[in-house]
Structure 1
Amino acid sequence: MLQYFIRPKCLSHEWQVCLTLHCKDNIPLQIKLPNWVPGSYLIRDFSRHIVDIQATCNDVPKALKQISKNCWETPPESGEWQIYYTVYAYDLSVRGAFLTSERGFFDGACLFLNVGGFEAQPHKVILDELPNGWAVATTMPQTAPNRFQAASYAELIDHPVELGRIETLTFEAGGIPHRIALSGHYQSFNRERLVQDIQKICSSQLEMFSGNAPFKEYLFLLHVGDDIYGGLEHISSTALLADRNSLPSEKMGEEADDAYIQLLGLFSHEYFHAWNVKSIKPEVFVPYRLDSESYTEQLWAFEGITSYYDDLFLVRSGVIRPQQYLELLAKSITRVQQGFGRLKQTLAESSFTAWNKFYKQDENSTNAIVSYYQKGALVALCLDLLLRSRSDGRTSLDDVMRALYRKWCENGQGIPEGQWQVYCREITGLDLDDFFQTALYSTKDLPLVQCLFDAGVALNWLPLPRSHGGGFVMEAAKCEQATDFGAKFKQLEDGIVLTHVLSGGSAEQAALSPKDKIIALNGFACKAFEKQWQSLSVGDIVHIHYFRDGVLHETDLTVQKAKPETAMLSIENQSLLKAWLQAS
């Protein structure tokens, strides 16, 4: 058995760890830390946070030889080994380690060293000298107070740990105990509503899979703070970050506000991952190889399909109305349509290059890449609606997901490259090869208009201001031609700073670049750009003063018309819409 004795040094933001194990063979041990964490496809080099590392064997100091950035080797010797190391922990994210005098958190991949050849042995965790009043929240099996044990290394790093002052909310869904471990600073909120809404979402997802869950309990680790957001899935828990103002207030009416809807969507998304990617997964993830990149073209099927279902389960469970769901959907469609990267990168390429493109975005990313989350969700939408339409409502994407989960439960095998589409055809009996070719391997537009029409929803593309974002209207909308600046920016007190310049837009044609600071339009201080821009018409020429690298420049910008890239959805057939939004 391997044992990790973990002690917090809160003031210096460090976890002190002592790893002990018995080696009966006179062979060198290889000890390494993962370079990435499952669910977040970027090489993060967690070993860079190891401040120091030392070793003893049978109480005698031994030299460790570093053989790569994340791997050390011991001398060949049998006996009782102790590996002492310190990890700097100040990463306020769901995929790292964090420690202050108020709170501790760690994802096992960035804290627990892996010993080669010992991965299948039990791994025990002992938390020592925790500050007074601190509680521990995790789904790692507990053997005693602050003592935990996992059956293997893979299981060890699949149980994130939250420590500190924690409020626990509980409920049951499908007969399974669920907990929300809430940490951070927050004001009074409607706890009953939060619990009831999350219970409805979880119950709906469990019902879709006939109550067959890959967990016996489930834990939501929710840390709230100031302007934070994120989530990372695990097999029986998830780590979540959210803005404290997204919690439902006591005064919130029957209809959820936008911030709370976003929070509910985060819960829904990470929970669905328990089936889709923590269970059903690409073949290259079985097992996870955490030293280097694991390339797959299938992330659209795991993040994209999950991103489709996260909002869909909000309306299926009744926590939002159909009109609110269509509002969310319209905004998602608009975000994809307004990104020029959709014309340059296929969805399969987006999945494959996540490691060096999606997770390393820069000022040109909107012009160069497409999100396998966002466009993947639209592909899942079209696929679901095509299956329903071509089968006269007898089959849907729900059936595909259930069958894939059954297959996983039977054999535990991942899905080979290109095989997801084959399984879909085998499960449904429908040939959608042309659709998959267009959706995954080309940059052609998806058949959104027709698919939504078949589900009772009209999609209209309108030339609205980019800031509009799309939405839901009671009936098909019309509008006058709007203008488009062709750039994203941040408004400051004395001007705007460009963050992204869009291909072919007004800003690019005027030779403006990211990081330029515009200080004047037609001689007037740029203190309220949106309002000033609204007074302009298509074809107007605007004289702009801006700073670049501390040097004042001037340029003339010709105002272009907005493209019809804003999605507006309206209901055309209530019965068709109802059939789509209910579980099948």
Structure 2
Amino acid sequence: MPRSVTHKVFWRRGLAAPCAVALIGALTGAVPAQAAPTAPTLLPLPPAIPAPVNQAWPGVLQLEVDASDLDHRVQQVRLTVPVKRPGERLTLLYPRWLPGTHSASGDVNQLAGLIVRAGGKTLAWERDTVDAHAFHVDVPAGVKQLQLEYQHLSPVNRSNGRVAVSPAIVGVQWNQVMLYPAGHYASAIQVQARLKLPAGWQQGSALRGLDGKPTQPGTDGWVRYAPASLETLVDSPVFAGRHFKRLELDEPGTPNPVALNMVADEAEQLEATPEQVQAHRDLVTQAHKLFGARHFRQYDFLFAQSREFGGIGLEHQESSENGVRPGYFKDWDKRQGSRELLPHEFVHSWNGKFRRPADLWTPQYNLPMRNSLLWLYEGQTQFWGHVLAARSGLSTPEQSRDRLANTIAWLDARAGRLWRNLQDTTNEGTMGARGRGKDWGDWQRGADYYDEATLIWLDADTLIREKTAERQSMDDFARAFFGTPHASAADGAVQPLTYRFDDIVATLNTVAPNDWAAFLRQRLDRTGTGAPLDGLARSGWKLVWRETESKFARGSGGGGDDAERSQDLSWSLGVRVAADGKLDAVAWDSPAFKAGLAPGMQIVAVQMASYKPERLAAAITANKDGKQPVALLVKQGELYRQVSIDWRGGLRYPALERIAGTPDRLGSLYAPRP
């Protein structure tokens, strides 16, 4: 190649000199030496947050929370922090990993307006560049305490999070309004809290007043609590309301008593019949008979009925947060859906709070939790919550069977079990997925360890009964595993007692010898079709299909209007349809899925007539002979299209039916203990 042509190639392309040399080498056959590429330099991370040690923080933190601003739903916070070592850097943490949520659910974005002062001067603070929940303050020499002011901005609408402040109800979770010093166990930090409520309001909490008794606001609107460890404070939220009622669920003088603290949008929603009150008292009685000990000094159900205050079910050792739609008492005979909530959260005082998985327990709220044993923590709690609802009369045996049938049918059709085992679903919290919607939930799976583990423990219960000629059952496991207090403690101990997989297996073997490790691992680790239903058959019942919904399904809304319920066609077309025709869910690989339907689409018409639930149900029934496929007009965004689904199985709803000639072990499980 002529030299002039070569240079034209170099400079017309804008090649730098090294590139020119490389090209010359390629043309001539010479290979020049290559210099090592220059890589960016990795900067060192900031100093690590101090690891917690079990040493007392000097002094008592003073926390004041003004929750009286209902208009803006802003809680004003003042916090006084005694200083450990003046002249050094202090790190304050906003709780991130929260017990009961099994995830990093603490939202530091809800903290705003942070000002730090000492000796009348404002101090600069710095957020950690790696852990956004950590704040650093350089403490001047001679300073004995810091004064902090900031706000907790409770969500105003549901799109920004759970609404915890409404015109009639306020919920205070202390972790949301708290900064605490790093480097110490939460149990080693003492806090004295005060809470201001709107005029005339009352409150319920496991926290006690300075006299050790349940307390209410003074004439100035402030509730003053006795000093408590940060661990106890965070584990003792508050429900307060314009309309409030407290019911004692134990006889006067009962040690470690239980009470129901109720708030609601309207005062009439707090009115319960004597029979309804007795069912809640029987819940406490049956739980005590099951576990044999109370690992709390006192226990306070916090219970809200509201359309605006966010729904919740969150466990604590000496209380629980429970929020449902209105109608819990008023629609008692029509709606059973929410009546396993209180039993579930109550069981958690034993299972999850007192007995806690060793890999889930952490000494404070900014260390990651691990959730490998949630199939016992949540799964067996779901099982006992279901059973105690039946034993106490919160649910009838028929309602309990209806609920179980729906659970079994839902799990048996769960497409995601083909690729994802139950053990892996315990990672939902650490994946950051829990609480977020999933378009293809049955394929992706979610927190299935709740309900599927219910079937595992039903399987274990019936197997124990069979092996021991009905002399032993899971009741014996519950008393042995959850009912035994610490060796050196009496009833009322609140210190957690941790456990591992081998502890579960060992206790099961004391009840009925078996290869329980293999039993559990096979059910936790397998993939493939079908839910674990051996326990159902051994209980004397089987799953069948009917053309009408069960009473449970019709009343499963937990309060509210019938019009708000979805039309559930999960076991026929494979869809769940909202009142306006929008598809809430489409089952993976179902007839609707194969026809091209997806969540978020809207059914506009059925058989060329406007959508109505009864019209769609009639169309499904009419195609049993295959002569008139279900014709839908659906809308997706601004586009419309017609869809035809040739489903010939008619309407299908699950139910349980007795297996003739077998013992009714399910009936024995549901029967109240004398």
TM-score by length of 2: 0.76
Q: Which amino acid aligns with 2:443?
A: N
Q: Which runs of 5+ in 1 are unaligned?
A: 250-255, 472-481
Partner Cα distance (1:263, 1:488) in 2: 20
1:316-358 deviation digits (Å, cap 9, x = unpaired): 2345443333222222222222332333322211112344344
**Alignment partners' CA distance in 1, 2:463 and 2:604:** 50
Q: Report if aligned partners of 1:297, 1:417 keep a CA contact under 8 Å in 2.
A: no
Aligned counterpart, 1:169: 247
Any idea what the Cα deviations from partners look like across 1:212-263, whole Å, max 9, x if unmatched? 10112111111111396431111111111122212146xxxxxx6252x434
**1:142 alignment partner, SS class:** coil
The equivalences for 1:237-276 within 5 A come to: 237-248=319-330, 257-259=333-335, 261-276=336-351
Q: Is the 8 A contact 1:541 1:558 kept in 2?
A: yes
Instruction: Note if 1:341 corresponds to 2:403.
Output: no
Q: CA RMSD in A?
A: 3.1
Secondary structure at the residue paired with 2:344?
helix
Structure 2 partner of 1:41 = 102
Deviation, 1:581, is: 3.4
What pairs up with 1:386-535 in 2 under 5 angstroms?
A: 386-405=463-482, 409-410=486-487, 412-416=496-500, 419-425=503-509, 428-444=512-528, 445-446=530-531, 448=533, 450-455=534-539, 457-462=540-545, 464=546, 484-492=572-580, 496-527=581-612, 528-535=615-622
Structure 1 residues 194 and 466: alpha-carbon distance in aligned structure 2, compared to 1, 3 A threshold: closer
Deviations 1:36-75 (A, max 9, x none): 4211234334211112101011221101111132111111
Using a 3 Å threshold, how does the CA distance of structure 1 residues 195 and 567 change in structure 2: closer, same or farther? closer
The residue number in structure 1 matching 2:640 is 552
Which of these residues, 174, 188, 194, is aligned with residue 108 of structure 1?
A: 174
| Aligned residues of 1:20 and 1:83 also touching (Cα < 8 A) | yes
- Judging changes above 3 Å, is the alpha-carbon distance between structure 1 residues 289 and 341 closer, same or farther for their aligned structure 2 residues? farther
**The one of 295, 299, 302 aligned to 1:221:** 302
Alpha-carbon shift at residue 276 of structure 1 (Å): 0.4
User: CA separation in 2, counterparts of 1:355 and 1:530?
Assistant: 40
Amino acid in structure 2 at the alignment position of 1:285? L
Aligned equivalent of 1:160: 237
Task: State the 1:565 CA deviation.
Answer: 8.3
Q: 1:80 corresponds to which letter in structure 2?
A: Q
Q: 1:29 to 1:418 in 2, by over 3 A?
A: same
Q: Name the amino acid aligned to 2:288.
A: L
- Cα distance in 1 for partners of 2:302, 2:284 equals 15
Deviates more, 1:69-78 or 1:57-66: 69-78
Aligned to 1:325: 400
Deviates more, 1:96-105 or 1:135-144: 96-105
**CA separation of 1:315 and 1:515: change in aligned 2, threshold 3 A:** closer
Q: Match for residue 475 of structure 1?
A: none
* 1:99-120, Cα deviation, whole Å (9 max, x unpaired): 3453321112212222224541
Q: Distance in 2 between matches of 1:31 and 1:167?
A: 37
Greater C-alpha Rg? 2
Q: What one-letter code is carried by the residue in structure 2 that aligns with 1:405?
A: F
Matched with 1:252 is: none
User: Structure 1 264/522 Cα, relative in aligned 2: closer, same or farther at 3 Å?
Assistant: closer
Cα distance, 1:578–1:467 mapped onto 2, change above 3 Å: closer
Cα 1:550–1:31 shift into 2, 3 Å: same
> Who is 1:18 aligned against?
78
Deviations 1:78-112 (A, max 9, x none): 4221111111123789x967334533211122122
SS of 1:244's partner is coil
SS at match of 1:436: helix
Work out the CA distance in 2 between the residues paired with 1:194 and 1:311: 17
> Aligned pairs, how many?
559
What residue is the counterpart of 1:3 in the other structure?
Answer: 62
SS state of the match for residue 387, structure 1? Answer: helix
- Name the amino acid aligned to 2:233: L
Q: Counterpart of 2:352 in 1: which secondary structure?
A: coil
Q: Which amino acid aligns with 2:281?
A: Q
User: 1:119-154: per-residue Cα shift (whole Å, max 9, x none)?
Assistant: 4132100224x3221222211131165111343211
> d(CA) in 2 for partners of 1:530 and 1:177?
50
Q: Which residue of 1 aligns with 2:137?
A: 74
Q: Equivalents in 2 of 1:198, 1:271: separation in Å?
A: 11
Query: Closer, same or farther in 2 for the Cα pair 1:150/1:182, shift >3 Å?
Result: same
- State the Cα distance separating 1:410 from its structure 2 match: 3.6
Q: Distance in 2 between matches of 1:138 and 1:343?
A: 44
Deviations 1:5-38 (A, max 9, x none): 1113332211111110221412221112112421
In the alignment, the residues of structure 2 paired with residue 306 and residue 131 of structure 1 have an alpha-carbon distance, to the nearest angstrom, of: 36
Aligned AA for 2:262?
A: L
Q: Secondary structure at the match of 1:74?
A: strand
2:208 maps to which residue? Answer: 141
CA distance in 2, matches of 1:14, 1:59: 25
Structure 1's 378 and 258: CA in aligned 2 closer, same or farther, altered over 3 A? Answer: farther
Cα shift readout 1:472-502 (whole Å, capped 9, x = no counterpart): xxxxxxxxxx98212222242xxx2222222
Q: Which amino acid aligns with 1:184?
A: A
1:270 to partner: Cα distance: 0.8
Q: Corresponding residue for 2:670?
A: 581
**Judging changes above 3 Å, is the alpha-carbon distance between structure 1 residues 306 and 329 closer, same or farther for their aligned structure 2 residues?**
same
**Cα distance in 2, alignment partners of residues 121 and 43 from structure 1:** 21
1:85 corresponds in structure 2 to: 150
- Aligned to 2:296, the other structure's residue is in SS state coil
> Residue 390 of structure 2: which of 302, 315, 320 is its match?
315
Looking at structure 1, the residues matched to 412 and 179 of structure 2 have their Cα atoms a distance apart, in angstroms, of 44
**Aligned partners of 1:427, 1:5: CA distance in 2, in Å?**
50
